[in-house]
Structure 1
Amino acid sequence: MEPITLAQEAVKILDKKKAQNIKLIGIEDISSLANYFLLANGTSSTHVKALADEVEYQLKQKNIVPDHVEGYRSHSWVLMDYGAVVIHIFTQDARDFYDLDRLWKDGEQVDISGLLTAD
């Protein structure tokens, strides 16, 4: 699956599970870490874990598995590394503290408005 397609699929999965403040940042022009960073918030540590579980489950149904997952025990930030796409799911406090939005502000802000359901 192409990186942008994988990222868009993850956006839809997170949106359906009520993730908040979903943001997709293209970083391939400024970093060799990945092509895209996907950032999202859960409303609690339980919600963060549920979001990560759902992304992993839904993508596994399409035979896509992460290279690495970190943070299930932290209860505030789960990082899911799918190679070209790295997914960060935070509590709001952790997102504010680590401020990846600011750190990667030079990346391309990908328009995902067409992928999100209107609430």
Structure 2
Amino acid sequence: MLTDKLLQDTLSIVEEKKGIDPILLNLEGISMVTDYFLIVTGNTTTQVKAITEKLTEKLPELGLQVLHVEGLPEAKWVLVDCGDLVLHVLTPDQREFYKLERLWGDAKVVSFSAS
């Protein structure tokens, strides 16, 4: 079960590694595969790898199992499958080309108000 805290903690990991323009999409009722997408950009393949490595290190500590990682070592578009949460870490050109936010345009963007 994904909680707001778990989703916020996941976003914090991405922000800690200087991920650019993270967007969290709620796909509940839209996708039969997953409930959430987190899409983030890394400036270079090195940064994409660094973000991915930090996620795969820290997510299990938060109680979120990493089921599969795809896209390494090229690191232009890395997919981290955690079941109910799928993370997409892309280089700027890949994010612009695939426009996942538009592909899932009917999904709600999840935001957390500052407390």
Normalising by structure 1, report the TM-score. 0.87
Aligned to 1:16: 16
Give 1:14 deviation, angstroms.
Answer: 0.3
Aligned to 2:80: 80
Aligned to 1:93, the other structure's residue is in SS state helix
How many Å separate the matches in 2 of 1:83 and 1:4?
A: 16
Aligned to 1:103: 103
Give 1:113 deviation, angstroms.
Answer: 5.8
Alignment partner of 1:68 is 2:68: yes
Give the root-mean-square deviation of aligned CA atoms: 1.7
Aligned to 1:89, the other structure's residue is in SS state strand
- Map Cα deviations across residues 54-88 of structure 1 (whole Å, 9 max, x no partner): 01111123343311110012220110000000000
How many Å separate the matches in 2 of 1:94 and 1:53?
A: 19
Aligned to 1:47: 47
Aligned to 2:31: 31
Q: Which moved more, 1:36-45 or 1:5-14?
A: 5-14
Normalising by structure 2, report the TM-score. 0.90
Note the residue ranges of structure 2 that are not aligned, 5 or more in a row. Answer: none
Aligned to 1:72, the other structure's residue is in SS state coil
- Contact 2:67–2:83 (CA<8 Å) still a contact in 1? yes
Give 1:33 deviation, angstroms.
Answer: 1.2
Note the residue ranges of structure 1 that are not aligned, 5 or more in a row. Answer: none
How many Å separate the matches in 1 of 2:47 and 2:113?
A: 22
How many Å separate the matches in 1 of 2:78 and 2:23?
A: 15
